[in-house]
Amino acid sequence: MQTTNPRILWLLLAGCAILAIANNLRVPSECRVSWFGGQPVFPGPEVSQP
Amino acid sequence: MKPRSILAIVFMVLSTHLLLLSILEISFPGTFSISMRSENLKHFRMHVGIAEVVLAIALLIPAFRLDRTLSARILESTSRVGIGGMFVFASWFKIQNPQAFALLVAQYQMLPQWSINLFALFTPQLELWAGLALVLTKWTREMSIVLSAMFIAFIVALAQAVWRDLGITCGCFEMEGALSKKDAWISLVRDLILIWPTLWLATRPNRTLIGVWRGREQ
């Protein structure tokens, strides 16, 4: 019975974290997200214009 | 080659073909669906997809009885290429537009607000590199465990969305607005089908795709 190599898993996770940061800097500004926080789940009620 | 092996190959090709058809039937009904071509079958695409999966599994039994080693090799190769390729394909649009993907993640209403953007940035990278590594490297077990964990996370997310009656879209392959509850069901069924070959791959020895056919361990 073979065992998994935790080093490979850590390497994958660390590499993906670095590439995720690099990708957010690479994409156009309209596709970029802030580092923390998220999109609003529900928009607020619409305010009728006078 | 023995006649038993040739027959096993025929069963495996049929089984793989049916499994692929079922995934396409469930995921891309507008493009590939058999049931969408008939007005009577239109509302039964989920049933047609599940019937194809059952038939695909049934065909594996005679194939493994006829030639166990060859069938396992074919199943391992097709599972690795299919699942790995699917994850690479799924990651692509998310990597190109993290903001749109973050919006899809937010509609699940599952993660804390501060973690949504981090999740939307990190997950597509994990899908891309784990998918590529499953096909191109020898680390089958490690990558299968990562991909199985992702499937479990997706299944939990979709199940809670169905349970809470959220009209969401999966966000798996394309970016669309919120859809009906039925679409979450469809994505849930697809993930419940695909997790099994991924879990099976986690039991296989680590070796490259070429190594599978040379019978090498490590």
Dig out the tokens for B95 from the structure.
């990597």
Which two three-digit tokens encode residue B64?
């493994």
Q: How confident is the model at residue A11 (pLDDT cuts 50, 70, 90)?
A: very high
Give me the mean pLDDT over the B150-170 stretch: 85
Put simply, whether A25 touches B (Cβ < 8 Å) is no
With CB atoms and an 8 Å threshold, state whether A12 touches B142. Answer: yes
Whether A43 has its CB under 8 Å from any CB of chain B: the answer is no
Distance from CA of A50 to the nearest CA of B (A): 30
Quote the Cα angle for B34-B37-B38, to 5°.
105
B50 has a chain A CB within 8 A of its CB: no
Are the beta carbons of A8 and B102 separated by less than 8 Å? no
The residues, any chain, with a CB within 8 Å of residue B175's CB and separated by 6 or more, are: B93, B97, B100, B101, B104
- Band of pLDDT at residue B176, cut at 50, 70 and 90: low
Q: Determine the longest span between alpha carbons in chain A, in angstroms.
A: 73
| Strand runs labelled E in chain B | none
- Using CB atoms, pick whichever of A4, A15, A41 lies closest to residue B129: A15
pLDDT tens-digit map of B56-92: 999 999 999 999 999 999 999 999 999 999 999 999 9
More confident residue, A39 or B102: B102
ipTM for the whole predicted complex goes beyond 0.95: no
Asked if A23's CB is within 8 angstroms of B129's CB, the reply is no
Maximum average pLDDT range among B35-39, B101-105, B195-199: B195-199
Handedness of CA B122, B125, B131, B133 (dihedral sign): negative
Contact B99 A23 (CB under 8 A): no
Which tokens hold the place of A34? Answer: 């802030």
Which pLDDT does position A44 carry in this prediction? 46
User: Are residues A19 and B127 in contact, defined by beta-carbon separation less than 8 angstroms?
Assistant: no
In chain B, the N- to C-terminal Cα span, in Å, equals 27
Residue B74's contacts (CB-CB under 8 Å, 6 or more residues apart) are: B9, B12, B16, B63
Output the pLDDT for position A46.
Answer: 52
Q: Is A29 on the interface with B (CB under 8 A)?
A: no
Which CA distances in Å does A50 have to A45, A46, A47? 15, 12, 9
Dihedral sign computed on CA atoms, order B78, B84, B86, B89: negative
The whole-angstrom separation of Cα A15 and Cα B125 is: 9
Query: Is residue B73 less than 8 Å (CB to CB) from chain A?
Result: no
Measured CA to CA, the distance from residue B175 to residue B96 in angstroms comes to 11
